[in-house]
Every structure is written in C-alpha cells, then in structure tokens.
Amino acid sequence: MALKYDQKQNLTLDVHTSRRRFLQVGLGATAGLVMPNAFADFLAQPERKLALHNLHTGESIKTTYWAEGQYQISELHAINRVLRDHRTGDIIDIDPTLVDLLNILHHKMNGRKPFHVISGYRSPKTNESLRKQTSGVAKKSFHMQGRAIDIRLPGRELTALRKAAINLQAGGVGFYPKSDFIHIDTGRVRHWG
C-alpha cells in the first residue's frame, strides 16, 4: 500500500499492494534478528527513539518508534511521511532495520541533534531523473525500496560519522564529503567513497 501527499498535504491512498513489498516490511520487522550480535543489548532496550530533520521539506520528527516490546506503527508511519519523496509526495514503508541503524548510529556518535536528511525514499521517477542529472545514482537504488538514507549529523564530523557507520558492519556506507553527507543502507556490508 502506498500513501501520497499532494501539494496541499492531503493524504491519498494507493491500494496497489504488492506481495514483494509485504514481504519486505515483514522481514524488516525482524530487524533484531539480522543485526550483528554486538547490537543485541542495545536492541533489547525498552524504548528506541529517533530524531530527523528533512532539509527539503523543513519537517522534523522526534519519536519513540519502539516501545512495549514492539514497533509503534503510528510512529513508523510518521517517519515514513518525513522521509517521503519530497519531489513527488510518494510515501512507502521505510525498512525498520534502517530506522534501527539510524538509532544505533546516533547513540554511537553521542548525537545531540537530529539527523539532517538529504534523501530518504526516492520514487522510481525521481531516481531516474537524478540518474540523468548526476553520477553516483544507482539504477536499482535502495532508496527506491525504503532501505537507504543520505544524512549528516550536526555537531559531528562527517568523517567520524562515516567511520562509525562502517564499524557497525550492518549495511552499505557511502561517503560524499563534497556534498557533506553519508549514505547508509540495509544492503550487504560494503563501503565506498
């Protein structure tokens, strides 16, 4: 199921539900099972929180997305909205494993401010447009699956953020110092840049 906000911020519902997306969300809900053992204690905490500031929309969120032993669906939906494709208004479910990675990374960095979001979800239309305009945009980008995000953390050096993300050994990490952000995703462990 895809949600979309039009220019007036009215919510519309696209009832196109795919089996593949359903499976992705179900697998994402088992994030604690696929995270490295080093995170087991962290993921066992009674609450998980996240703070984000979308630089394109000006929207911010500070939320407890995990409480009482489960993901808080309404809070995940709020995260999805903030991380929507700001060019088209399209919204999909962001991989809960990515949300957990952000939470862990914020704690590892002793972050005091919200992550600045450069890019969250990208619709296929947006991704193709960006591929035509610039290099470094993958044809089958994890952004189109809600499994990638481009961020910076105010008050922390970009190189330190990159190093901390790589040390998590929990997905892909790209380094873009000229554009002042790192990319993280829930794909296989790798890094570039």
pLDDT at 153 over 60: yes
Mean of pLDDT values over 135-147: 86
Q: How confident is the model at residue 26 (pLDDT cuts 50, 70, 90)?
A: very low
Is residue 122 a contact partner of residue 153, using CB atoms and an 8 Å limit?
no
**CA-CA-CA-CA torsion for 94, 72, 30, 43, nearest 10 degrees?**
110
**Residue 152, in any domain of the structure:** no
Which residue type occupies 47?
E
Check residues 156 and 21 and name the one with the higher pLDDT: 156
**Sign of the alpha-carbon dihedral angle for 187, 80, 175, 110:** negative
With 70 as the cut, is the pLDDT of residue 105 above it? yes
Residue 132, pLDDT score: 83
Q: What share of the chain is helix, strand, coil (3-state, %, to 5)?
A: 35, 25, 40
Q: Which residue has the tokens 């007036």?
A: 8
- In a domain, residue 146? The reply is no
The answer to whether residue 169 is domain-embedded is no
Rounded distance, CA 1 to CA 144, Å?
A: 14
**Residue 155 above 90 pLDDT?**
yes
Angle at 121 between CA 115 and CA 123, to 5 degrees: 155
User: Is 191 inside any structural domain?
Assistant: no
* Residues forming a β-bridge with 89: none
The answer to the question of residue 150 being in a domain is no
Which pLDDT score is estimated for 37?
62
Mean pLDDT of 94-118: 96
| pLDDT, averaged across the chain | 84
Number of domains in the chain: 1
Range of the domain at 13: 2-139
Strand (E) or helix (H) holding 22 = helix 19-28
38 pLDDT band (50/70/90 cuts)?
low
- Whether 90 maps to a domain, the answer reads yes
In the numeric block, which tokens belong to residue 27? 């697998």
On whether residue 164 sits in a domain, the answer given is no
40 part of a folded domain: yes
pLDDT band at 131, cuts 50/70/90?
Answer: confident
* Residue bearing tokens 């519902």: 13
Stretch 91-114: mean pLDDT: 96
Q: Using 50, 70 and 90 to split pLDDT, how confident is the model at 18?
A: very low
Compute the distance between CA of residue 180 and CA of residue 93 in angstroms, rounded to an integer.
26
pLDDT band at 36 (very low <50, low <70, confident <90, very high): low
